[in-house]
């Protein structure tokens, strides 16, 4: 099994109301130099390794995990180090 | 007319929808149909009510869209059957790819629960023919994710093809073009965030939702019942 981390964000150009609110909050707290805040989702899956892993992850992202109309996704596969 | 009201785990406007169809149309049959049903082919009109199907987990409508009944809903939509999705029902139809766009969180991040002014943008639809274009209706909204979003190309198409059926008179939730309700290109699938089924009785605040149901029924009757 491998650990798959899927990151889902709103597409560029789609105004993110949550990101804006967090950005305003940070500014109000006195944190300067914060320009852009985006709020997204992180989904962790344990997936069977092997042939077609990328194709399987991509299919899961496109069919269910992300909504391609407004969201982008990316993922990272994490293999446990073998001793 | 045979009408179905689909019930998902977490639907909470199903009873109101049932009564709106039952009491304000002359449908011979109005039935609740569970999310587990394999077919809705026996119905002429399919209503998908509001609520929080599957707890709104992942995204609103994202899980419900894969419920067994939705395959049949898509098939019946392709055949031209009348499909109406309200609130969560609208979100489910978007996730299913039966309606354009997607919903973001409301621009002020608040759940909005109040009665708003809704403008009829297109009265030449099977859902709004009993209204006049430009009519302003008082209809309740109750949603946290009703901020309609689509790309500019889609928006232009919606405008050109008369697919924008309802808009908010005021900017309620940040929706692009203040869109509150759209239909598909073929004109047989409607989605709207406001709740017409909650605006059926003056003593409950408004009866402006009635004509949506009478429109659906009349249009079905005109195309299906031979009168002498």
- Average pLDDT over every residue of B140-152: 97
| Cβ-based contacts of A21 with chain B (< 8 Å) | 109
B105 touches chain A (CB under 8 A): yes
Record the tokens describing residue A81, joined without a space.
Answer: 């180090």
Q: Work out the pLDDT band at B226, boundaries 50, 70, 90.
A: confident
| A13: closest chain B residue by CA | B151
| Cβ-based contacts of B109 with chain A (< 8 Å) | 17-18, 21
A67 within a domain of the structure (yes/no)? yes
Record the tokens describing residue A53, joined without a space.
Answer: 């892993």
Question: What CATH number does domain B2-224 carry, 1.10.10.60, 3.30.710.10, 1.10.10.10, 3.40.50.880?
Answer: 3.40.50.880
Question: Residues of B with catalytic annotation?
Answer: 87, 195, 197
What's the pLDDT score for residue B40?
Answer: 98
A30 is in which domain, residue-wise? 2-78
A27 touches chain B (CB under 8 A): no
What's the pLDDT score for residue B205?
Answer: 94
Give SS3 for B60.
coil
Whether the per-residue pLDDT at B228 is higher than 60: the answer is no
Q: For A34-43, B35-44, B171-180, B195-204, which range has the lowest pLDDT when averaged over its residues?
A: A34-43
Whether the per-residue pLDDT at B76 is higher than 70: the answer is yes
A54 within a domain of the structure (yes/no)? yes
| Cβ-based contacts of A15 with chain B (< 8 Å) | 104, 107, 174
A83 within a domain of the structure (yes/no)? no
Does the distance separating the beta carbons of B66 and A64 come in below 8 Å? yes
A8 touches chain B (CB under 8 A): no
- Average pLDDT over every residue of B3-28: 97
| Secondary structure, 3-state, chain A | CEEEEEEEEECCCCCCHHHHHHHHHHHHCCCCCCCCCCCCEEEEEEECCCCCHHHHHHHHHHHHHCCCCCEEEEEEEECCCCC
B150 touches chain A (CB under 8 A): yes
What's the pLDDT score for residue B130?
Answer: 98
Q: Work out the pLDDT band at B225, boundaries 50, 70, 90.
A: confident
Whether the per-residue pLDDT at B202 is higher than 90: the answer is yes
Domain count, chain A: 1
Whether ipTM tops 0.85, in short, is no
Whether the per-residue pLDDT at B97 is higher than 60: the answer is yes
What's the pLDDT score for residue A82?
Answer: 62
A18 touches chain B (CB under 8 A): yes
With contact defined as beta carbons under 8 Å apart, do B71 and B118 qualify?
Answer: no
CA distance A2 to A51: 13
The CATH number of residue A66's host domain is 3.30.1280.10
Alpha helices in chain B (DSSP H): 14-24, 68-78, 88-95, 152-160, 210-224
| Cβ-based contacts of A71 with chain B (< 8 Å) | 102
A39 within a domain of the structure (yes/no)? yes
pLDDT tens across A38-64, in order?
999 999 999 999 999 999 999 999 999
Q: In this complex, which of A21, A65, A70 lies closest to B104 when CB atoms are compared?
A: A70
What's the pLDDT score for residue A70?
Answer: 95
- Kindly list the domain boundaries of chain B, sorted by start residue: 2-224
Does the distance separating the beta carbons of B95 and A17 come in below 8 Å? no
A6 touches chain B (CB under 8 A): no
A72 within a domain of the structure (yes/no)? yes
Does the distance separating the beta carbons of A18 and B101 come in below 8 Å? no
| Cβ-based contacts of B149 with chain A (< 8 Å) | 14, 69-70
- Average pLDDT over every residue of B98-122: 97
């Amino acid at each position: 099994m491998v650990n798959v981390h899927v990151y889902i964000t709103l597409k560029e150009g789609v105004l993110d109301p949550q990101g804006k609110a967090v950005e305003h909050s940070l500014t109000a707290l006195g944190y300067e130099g914060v320009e852009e805040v985006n709020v997204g989702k992180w989904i962790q899956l344990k997936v069977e390794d092997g042939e077609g892993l990328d194709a399987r992850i991509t299919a899961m992202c496109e069919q269910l995990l992300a909504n391609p109309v407004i969201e982008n996704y990316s993922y990272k596969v994490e293999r446990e180090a073998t001793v | 007319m045979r009408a179905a009201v689909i019930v998902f785990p977490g639907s909470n406007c199903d009873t109101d929808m049932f009564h709106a169809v039952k009491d304000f149309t002359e449908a011979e049959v109005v039935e609740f149909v569970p999310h587990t049903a394999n077919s809705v082919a026996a119905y002429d009109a399919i209503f998908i009510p509001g609520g929080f199907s599957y707890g709104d987990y992942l995204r609103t409508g994202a899980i419900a869209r894969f419920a067994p009944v939705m395959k049949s809903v898509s098939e019946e939509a392709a055949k031209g059957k009348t499909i109406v999705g309200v609130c969560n029902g609208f979100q489910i139809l978007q996730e299913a790819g039966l309606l354009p766009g997607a919903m973001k969180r409301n621009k002020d991040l608040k759940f909005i629960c109040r009665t708003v002014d809704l403008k009829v943008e297109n009265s030449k639809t099977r859902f709004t023919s009993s209204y006049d274009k430009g009519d302003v209706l008082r209809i309740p909204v109750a949603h946290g994710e009703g901020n309609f979003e689509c790309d500019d190309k889609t928006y232009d198409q919606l405008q050109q093809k008369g697919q924008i059926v309802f808009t908010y008179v005021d900017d309620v939730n940040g929706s692009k073009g203040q869109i509150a309700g759209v239909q598909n290109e073929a004109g047989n699938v409607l989605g709207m965030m406001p709740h017409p089924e909650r605006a059926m009785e003056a003593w409950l605040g408004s009866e402006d939702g009635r004509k949506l149901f009478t429109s659906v029924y009349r249009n079905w009757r005109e195309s299906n019942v031979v009168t002498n």
